[in-house]
Amino acid sequence: MTSKDYAMTKSKAILRQPESYRESRLPPGVRPLRRPPAAGRAVELAFLRWEKRELARTERFWRDFGFHIVGSSTQILVARGAGTAPCIAVAEKGSTNRFLGPAFRMSDDTNLASYVERFGAAWLPFGAIPGGGKGVSLQDPSGRSIWLLQGQLRSEPMALRAPTTALTNTAQHAPRVNRTVRTPIEPARVVKLGHVVLQTVNFQQMAEWYLQVLGLIPTDVQYLPDGSPNLAFCRLDLGNEPADHHTLVLVGGLEEKYEHSAYEVIDLDALGQGQQVLRAAGYSHLWGIGRHLLGSQLFDYWRDPDGFEHEHYTDGDLFTADHETEYSPLTFGGIWAWGADAPASMKPRKDLPTLLRVLRLLRRRVLTPQRLKLLGAALDAPARPWL
């Protein structure tokens, strides 16, 4: 036990603060994540692309979740946040409900044409990008479509109420006197698209591809009991400008899957009022409110009407490009510092479809029995003494 852990006085239960190591001081056996040289540099997660069978249902959820709708027709739905991005989400009408892929804004000095030669990218047709500009479409190793953009217009930020944080009374500092906290009961106004999390069966290959294509920096890497990396929280390389702890997260698992996307809101009161509004509207709550460990965000997770997970967050960590990558063991309990218990549905299911999928992966040798065992060992440990 370390000084960071806490032993209960009346039981043997211990709340543990997970250990973490800088990349230059890795313990023996922990392997660093390979980082191929960057082909270009992403400077923003611009928007996410969806295919939806019922656009009206998606539009209702987007409004209640705090997006601002800027285009709505029978064929396409476009939304923005209150920040400067002209678009954070696009849904096209189609025959299935699925996540199509992310679009990233690339730095001006990135050579988009080089992606056509090196990565088999294709130029996007004129007018395909909300907010204009040019871009290419390419496929990641799992076959998912990724757009890389340049020259999109910026939008005028929308007016927001003042955050409550500047007037937060603490034991040491009490700036709020003769005043109350009365934030409006309204959807949590989404300011920006923060990050997207993708699960993959081929973590190593996918992580190297995304680090190379987008020039990302791994902020936190989590490893299995054999020391092999299996999860990477990656941030944008913005040089000396602070960047969110993570903009893209890749996690090794049993399928190629959109996990969730996350949207920054004004403050904790917006997160809480937003939760009330979504509850009142009858949506399916998934997890929260709590604080994440890696990234430190205060979070609240919801499912859209088609079952896709969306996160509201506020108060996340920011790092400049020179901050060193940290490594820690992968555990289920390590995804939150405190707050509501993470639902078991966030772990791989132990049902027949999962078993069949695992058998297929083992047969194709994408997954080895050893790796499956290590994944189980990492995720099955009790997340908290009461779980």
User: Residue 129 or residue 315: which is nearer to Fe ion going by CB?
Assistant: 315
Binds Fe ion by CB under 5 A, chosen from 64, 259, 264, 311:
311
- Identify which range of 106-114, 148-156, 261-269, 278-286 contacts Fe ion by CB under 5 A: 261-269
User: Residue 300 or residue 311: which is nearer to Fe ion going by CB?
Assistant: 311
Contact assessment for residue 121 and residue 113, using Cβ atoms and an 8 Å cutoff: no
Report the interhelical angle of 268-280 vs 55-65 (nearest 10°): 140
- In angstroms, give the least distance from the CB of 45 to Fe ion: 12
Please give the span between the terminal C-alpha atoms of the chain, in angstroms, as a whole number. Answer: 20
- In angstroms, give the least distance from the CB of 115 to Fe ion: 27
- Identify which range of 65-73, 228-236, 277-285, 311-319 contacts Fe ion by CB under 5 A: 311-319
d(CA 107, CA 46): 12
Closest CA to 281 of 187, 214, 348: 187
Q: Which residue has the tokens 């990008």?
A: 129
DSSP 8-state class, residue 374: H
- In angstroms, give the least distance from the CB of 105 to Fe ion: 20
- In angstroms, give the least distance from the CB of 28 to Fe ion: 31
User: Residue 100 or residue 262: which is nearer to Fe ion going by CB?
Assistant: 262
- In angstroms, give the least distance from the CB of 48 to Fe ion: 13
Sign of the CA dihedral running 60, 72, 48, 81: negative
- In angstroms, give the least distance from the CB of 71 to Fe ion: 26
User: Residue 237 or residue 264: which is nearer to Fe ion going by CB?
Assistant: 264
- In angstroms, give the least distance from the CB of 269 to Fe ion: 20
d(CA 338, CA 335): 9
Tell me how far CA of residue 63 lies from CA of 41, 68, 84, 96, 384, in angstroms: 32, 6, 18, 21, 35
Binds Fe ion by CB under 5 A, chosen from 82, 238, 262, 271:
262
* CA 41 distance to own-chain centroid: 19
How many residues contact Fe ion, by CB under 5 A?
2
**Should residue 234 be labelled a site residue for Fe ion when binding is judged by CB under 5 A?**
no
Maximum distance among all Cα pairs of the chain, rounded to whole angstroms = 68
Amino acid at 20: S
- Identify which range of 14-22, 116-124, 200-208, 304-312 contacts Fe ion by CB under 5 A: 304-312
User: Residue 58 or residue 261: which is nearer to Fe ion going by CB?
Assistant: 261
- In angstroms, give the least distance from the CB of 249 to Fe ion: 7
- The strand pair at 42-52 and 298-303 is best described as unpaired
User: Residue 110 or residue 328: which is nearer to Fe ion going by CB?
Assistant: 328
For residue 245, report the phi and psi dihedrals to the nearest 5 degrees.
-45, -40
- Measured torsion, CA atoms of residues 105, 101, 128, 86, in degrees rounded to the nearest 10: -50
Which residues bind to Fe ion, rule: CB under 5 A? 262, 311
